[in-house]
């Protein structure tokens, strides 16, 4: 069996504000539609990722989690320091690098609603990025 994770709902209070944050962080807008009155669906993808996030309003099935309740979404990167510097350059408030055993490094950040993210560098995954960058 093969399963591909393709879309993760991220609950926010203001879709436009969140969209601006994520676009500023380098995410690409795949879809931004208002299919009905009071309904908005905005899908964005981190650079190089096969999985996207969705920001929405007016859809109880996607928006029943409290804004800011998502914790610890991981974005795996080739170089945590370079990715941290890029996000900081783009105006994203990022935490310091937290280094662990075997060279694993983490950098925390959060969106305006408090959904938390972590950049994660795992040295043994460096080959995963050879053709992606």
Domains of the chain in start order, with CATH, are: 7-129 (3.10.180.10)
Q: How confident is the model at residue 63 (pLDDT cuts 50, 70, 90)?
A: low
In this structure, what token pair is assigned to residue 16? 């436009």
Radius of gyration of the chain (CA): 15
- What local confidence, expressed as pLDDT, does residue 115 receive? 97
Q: How confident is the model at residue 130 (pLDDT cuts 50, 70, 90)?
A: confident
Cα distances from 62 to residues 13, 82, 112, 121, 125, in angstroms, run 13, 33, 19, 30, 32
- What local confidence, expressed as pLDDT, does residue 127 receive? 80
pLDDT tens per residue across span 72-126: 999 999 999 999 999 999 999 999 999 999 999 999 999 999 999 999 999 888 7
Mean pLDDT estimate for the chain = 93
pTM beyond cutoff 0.85: yes
- The string of DSSP codes covering 47-66 is TT-S-EEEEEES-HHHH-SP
Average of per-residue pLDDT across 18-41: 96
CA 98 to chain centre: 19
In this structure, what token pair is assigned to residue 37? 């009155």
Through-space distance between the first and last CA atoms of the chain, rounded to whole angstroms? 29
């Amino acid at each position: 069996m093969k399963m591909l994770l393709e879309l993760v709902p991220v609950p926010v209070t203001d879709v436009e504000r969140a969209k601006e944050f994520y676009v500023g962080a380098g995410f690409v807008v795949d879809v931004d539609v208002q299919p009905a009155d009071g309904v908005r669906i905005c899908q964005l993808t981190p650079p190089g990722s096969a999985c996207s996030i969705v920001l929405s309003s007016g859809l109880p099935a996607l928006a029943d989690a409290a804004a800011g309740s998502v914790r610890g979404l991981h974005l795996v990167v080739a170089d945590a320091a370079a990715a941290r510097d890029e996000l900081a350059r783009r105006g994203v408030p990022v935490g310091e690098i937290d280094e662990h055993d075997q060279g694993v490094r983490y950098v925390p950040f959060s969106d305006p609603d408090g959904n938390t993210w972590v950049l994660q560098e795992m040295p043994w995954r460096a080959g995963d990025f050879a053709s992606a960058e």
